Structure formats: C-alpha cells, structure tokens
Amino acid sequence: MMEAGWSARRVNRQPTASSAAIQAKVALSLGALVSSRTIQRCLAEGHLGSRCPLRVLPLTPTYRRIRLEWFRARGNRTAADWNQVVFSDESRFNLGSDDNRVRVWRLRGERFNPAFALPRHTTPTTGVKIWDAIAYNTLSPLVLIRRTMTAQ
C-alpha cells in the first residue's frame, strides 16, 4: 500500500500531471497495478487537490526591476495624491481554444508559489480586446478595441 508522503513528493515534481499519469508512474515503480481511487485517496491524505493554476505574465528580470523602481518612487504619496491618478488597462478574451484546462496538484494556500504558476497565453489567437479606466469616484466606458492596441 502507498503512503501519502510518497504521493505528495512525486506530484510536487510534476504538479500538472494527470491522475492517470500519476497512476501509470506509480504502477511502473511498484510493479503492480494501483487503482485510481487509491491515487485519489493518497493525494487527499497529502492535502493535495486539483486546482486551477495562477496565470501570470511572463515578466523578465528587467521588467520586474522597472516595476519595483516605479512603486518605490511613489511609496510616499498620500491618498489625496492617488485620488488624482487614472489607472487604465486592457484585457483580451480568447475566443478560440480553451487554454485554461490545465490543473495543478498543490496544497491549499500555495496559489502564489511560483512552482504552481503557469505563464499566460501570449501567442496570437482569435479574441476580443477591451479597454477601461478607473479613477477616484469615476469609471470610463468599456471600449471594444477592433484593431491593434496603440498608445493613441
């Protein structure tokens, strides 16, 4: 019989492995068939659950440094200063294939652990892009971007 610690150690090496892949690997290493229910039970005993991974932007070390410098330069601003700022962002919604089907085996509370984060989809696919802005006590209208997004 398998012990929970064994399964937790094995899954942490490959957090995106399916339960069928884990079952095949365990059967190969033990030289005996192991039921999928046993795999599920051992993962549960190790407090591992199948969860959606955190999707992160693939930031380079240079971009991380620049962002940190930006925040440090503005760390002494007051609430009145921030009330004068407008934040805007664009979001893209993928209309093609579903790229959110990947699951990871991790403990509860490990969402922000980089070992369980996956880069966002960045290659061109069919989709819709929208832009919006928010400021103190104000919202902008939601804008559908039909072409390439530029500073203008």
pLDDT in tens, 46-88: 888 777 777 777 788 998 899 899 989 988 899 899 888 898 8
DSSP state of 115: G
pLDDT tens per residue, range 126-148:
778 888 999 988 888 888 887 76
User: The whole model's pTM is what?
Assistant: 0.41
d(CA 125, CA 150): 18
- Return the pLDDT at 5: 43
H/E segment holding residue 88: strand 86-94
Is residue 8 within 8 Å of 46, Cβ to Cβ? yes
Is residue 23 within 8 Å of 36, Cβ to Cβ? yes
DSSP state of 142: P
Amino acid at 33: L
Number of C-beta neighbours around residue 118 at 10 A? 17
Residue 120 half-sphere exposure toward CB, CA atoms < 13 A: 12
